[in-house]
Amino acid sequence: MQKVIVAVVQAGSFVFDTSRTMERLKRHCEEAADQGARLVVFPEAFLGGYPKGIDFGARIGSRSLEGRDDFRRYWEAAIEIPGTEISKLGDIAARYHVNLVSGLIERAGGTLYCSVVFVAPDGRLQGKHRKLMPTASERLVWGCGDGSTMPTVKTDFGILGAAICWENYMPLFRTAMYGKGVNIWCAPTVDDRDSWQSTMRHVALEGRCFVLSACQYLLRSQCPENYYPIQGGSPETVLIKGGSVIISPLGEVLAGPLRDAEGLLTAEVDMDDVVRGKFDLDVVGHYARPDVFSLSVDEVAKIPVNYSQSADSMTRLRDVRDGQGAGLSSSRPTVGSQDDQDEKLPAKVKATENVDR
């Protein structure tokens, strides 16, 4: 193994303004690369925004028109995967030659997900994780992920995985990720409580892994004018106060926690410390009791609607796609195979199907 410099970014989004936030992300990647970082982790919902303090006009039994319009704005700021913004992330990662891990709001049809993407130094999208269980009112605007997006990503210095905010309180999810060999645990969050620090130290100690927790630092001034958080409307109001931190496999705080400011934390980590830590605790190895406890993980994608087609139907669909059916022109909508679709995607996003699990 080797020593490597890692970085976490503490910054807030420009809520509902993805293009401005992308520029902020680029600036922080440049700063981290200048300091020698090879891995840069951004907070939860960094692209797309975390709508702290607003309620989307929802009460039990009713939703307001103003709240529906807030959801429209949120949906428009969200990101499709693959898509233009993912290509931009690939360009940034390649320009600064960093492994880039960022929280974002993903748009899939009419549903939003709180997700994390992993982008390689050559610009490839290596993986995506959707938050399994949004917390409390987050469930009003985010869908739940399933077991098909719990990847680990191999780099030349370690194995990355991600747990978003309160996923870190899900012991079975942590165990599933430990079982995949994660040794750099990325924890994008908006939890700025003092108690979050003990959670991060616990995960580091339990998993014998490095923990990189990136939290937002968000001011009311970074939100649109017609945005009314419960915390108040003064531009100086702090909506999320930070608390980003880097922790070793033995629970030592290597950098941070950073509070009440935007900033960058870096640390040089010795990946051999992972092995040193496993000497007396490997919760999915010599410290496990599979004769007493076991965990089954379902990684099959749960698709709401499945369509079955006969061979003849598929032939007709291919004819439609190719414009060869009777009375059909090539300008009609087409249905193609995944390979056909992949050929139309930018090269940087084709590698999604090669995610290490």
pLDDT, tens digit, 9 for 90 and up, residues 204-224: 999 999 999 999 999 999 999
Question: Residue 289, CB half-sphere, CA atoms under 13 Å: how many?
Answer: 2
Distance CA 214, CA 258 (A): 10
- Is 341's pLDDT higher than 60? no
Rounded Cα–Cα distance for residues 223 and 171 (Å): 34
| Burial class of 214 by CB neighbour count within 10 A (0 to 12, 13 to 18, 19+) | buried
Q: Which pLDDT value is given to residue 323?
A: 65
Q: For residue 327, how far is the Cα from the chain centroid?
A: 46
Q: Is the predicted pLDDT of residue 338 greater than 60, yes or no?
A: no
Q: Which of 86, 72, 73, 79 is closest to 16 using CA atoms?
A: 73
Rounded to the nearest 10 degrees, how much is the dihedral formed by the CA atoms of 48, 49, 55, 56? -20
Is pLDDT above 80 for 41?
yes
Name the pTM for this structure.
0.85
Q: Does residue 160 register a pLDDT over 90?
A: yes
Tokens encoding 225: 């004018």
Residue 327 has pLDDT above 70, yes or no: no
Q: Which residues are catalytic?
A: 44, 131, 165
Mean of per-residue pLDDT scores for the chain: 91
Tell me the sheet residues that pair with 108.
111
- Alpha-carbon distance of 277 to 13, in angstroms, equals 36
Supply the DSSP symbol for 261. Answer: S
The Cα 12–Cα 223 span in angstroms is 10
In angstroms, what is the C-alpha Rg of the chain?
Answer: 22
Provide the percentage of residues in the chain whose pLDDT is more than 70.
88
Residue 9, token pair as written in the block? 């970014």
Contact predicate 175/151, CB 8 Å: no
The β-bridge partners of 10 are 263
Upstream peptide bond of 257 is cis (omega within 30 degrees of 0): yes
SS3 211: strand
How far, in Å, CA of 181 to CA of 160, rounded? 9
> Cβ(141)–Cβ(51) under 8 Å?
yes
* Under 8 Å between Cβ of 56 and 71: yes
Are 45 and 239 spatial neighbours (Cβ–Cβ below 8 Å)? no
CA distance 239 to 218: 5
* Predicted pLDDT of residue 329: 42
Closest CA to 187 of 179, 269, 207: 207
Interval 64-86: pLDDT, tens: 999 999 999 999 999 999 999 99
